[in-house]
């Protein structure tokens, strides 16, 4: 195997994880119906004549909870 610098190994691993995550997301989105992210209760949209303000509060809360659960599961798997 190549003798890589430790930082290079981390970057290669991170890139591989991003590619794997992208493939998984592509497969999941083809099987499951689309999520209504951006249209949840709590998302604020203010529209005026030449102005539009979009504040996705509900979406941010849902994503935060989902990522917290996922990262806790990953942390518990690696702590064994």
Q: How far is CA 7 from CA 14, 17, 18, in A?
A: 10, 15, 16
Residue 61 CB neighbour total at 10 angstroms: 13
State pLDDT tens for residues 44-63: 999 999 999 999 999 899 99
Q: How far apart are CA 77 and CA 80, in angstroms?
A: 6
pLDDT computed for residue 1 by the predictor: 55
Q: How far apart are CA 41 and CA 58, in angstroms?
A: 6
Over range 56-76, report the average pLDDT: 93
Domains of the chain, by residue range, sit at 1-34, 36-80
- Please give the model's pTM, rounded to 2 decimal places: 0.55
Q: What tokens appear for 47 in the block?
A: 């529209």
Which alpha helices (DSSP H) does 1-80 contain, by range?
6-31, 57-78
């Amino acid at each position: 195997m190549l003798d890589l610098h430790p930082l290079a190994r981390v970057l290669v691993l991170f890139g591989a994880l991003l590619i794997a995550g992208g493939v998984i997301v592509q497969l999941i989105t083809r099987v499951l119906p689309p999520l209504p992210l951006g249209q949840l209760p709590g998302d604020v949209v203010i529209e005026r004549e030449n102005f539009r303000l979009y504040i996705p509060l509900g979406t941010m809360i849902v994503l935060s909870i989902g990522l917290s659960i996922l990262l806790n599961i990953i942390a518990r798997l690696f702590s064994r």
